[in-house]
Structure 1
Amino acid sequence: MLDKLQKNLGYTFKNEEYLARALIHSSCDMKKDGRVYDNERLEFLGDRVLGLAIADQIFNEYKEDREGMLAKRHTSLVRKEALADIARKWNIEPYILMSDGEEQTGGREKDSILADTAEAILAAIYLDAGFEFVVKFIQTQWQNVEVKMPLKDAKSTLQEILQKQKNALPVYHLLETKGFAHNATFVIEVQTALGSATGEGSSKQKAEQKAAHNLLELIKETE
């Protein structure tokens, strides 16, 4: 039953029970020997295994980065969206066991469920093959994951850069509001001594963050 999934993973389990449990979402409310039987404990373990594997990779790959930048790279590589993309690459959606209610609300497509299941699968591989193998597995699987600076702190990061260089703080201007009031898209421009950039978002705050993020990317390209 799970042969195709194991082929997608590029790994064949010695004990397939680990993989089977990794695919059981908590909404199933399954029990075995009187205990809850789902993938949440594996998810917990997989999160820690992934975190250490990625930390080891970026520590050795980016030898000139200081702690703050290493932390940002790490956050980007273990973010929910990155995990969900990996899960889709493995095509795990049809194999996840979940309640009818969860499935009817689009559970198989939810980034959160896909990401959690991917972490559980990593834990299953760790238990089946050991730490050294799963670290290599993770680092190979994550080779093409794009490092994205988290948008949530793009504005503060930009401000810190400007302050360190004793430049004026960034100025944000609303350039355009597109669409209808209940579904508007805002276009914001950020202007600084280091250049300018625009960003779009469903709110002014999101558009400002996107503009700051885009300017940071431009600054990084010119360094």
Structure 2
Amino acid sequence: MSELLEIKGLEKSFYMHHFDKTIQGCSDVTFTLDQGEFIGITGKSGAGKSTILRSVYRTYLPTSGQIMYHSDQYGWLDLAGATEREVLSIRRNEIGYVSQFLKVMPRVTAIEVVQKALEEMKYSKEEALEEARQMLSHFHLSEELWDAYPQTFSGGEKLRLNLAQAMVKKPKLLLLDEPTASLDAATKESVKDMIVRLKEAGTSMLGIFHDLEFMESVVDQQYNMKQGMMQEGVQT
């Protein structure tokens, strides 16, 4: 396998101005992710798991270290030092992010959220609409909600929409932040099925989990975070 992502000495700290105090998010994180591989990260709340994902997605700008990513558009690129234009283009075309929290424009319907993700990738309107319908059905989001505004959705419904929005693009790299939180058993199975499909199609994944049983059924390798430091787990 060839490497897709190589993280070297990643560190992220947060300065709290009100308290004149620095909080360590993660420190000296180093690992590689191969093409088509799925790495799962576990750890208690506050251990630094989400900090890693947000640094890769560049929601956070790392304090130090490198995040080397093999982009279809730019070749090897350090995401820690990439320009805003490069980051936005890679997010649009190559890297997907599933969060427990849904952030969408007001007065945009659920099906439009998924459809627009594909239209940004130059899909035709008709093709994007059909793909959106199939993906929302796959994640058991009721058709009654397709033309509704996501701000009114429950936590589980918002997560299903997040999954659909990110996975419909079949990204080169998919980042998953607690992708089964607040989901029922049937929807968890649909998430597992889509993960398998995407892996078979070549998508690489990096995910953080509290649901260890689910994680162990889909990942190739595990790491555990403790106090911002990463410890290697086991091959699965």
**TM over 0.5, shorter chain:** no
With structure 2 as the length reference, what TM-score do the two structures score? Answer: 0.22
Normalised to the residue count of structure 1, the TM-score between the two structures is 0.23
Q: Which has the higher strand share?
A: 2
Greater percentage in helix: 1
Task: Report which of the two structures shows the higher radius of gyration computed on alpha carbons.
Answer: 1
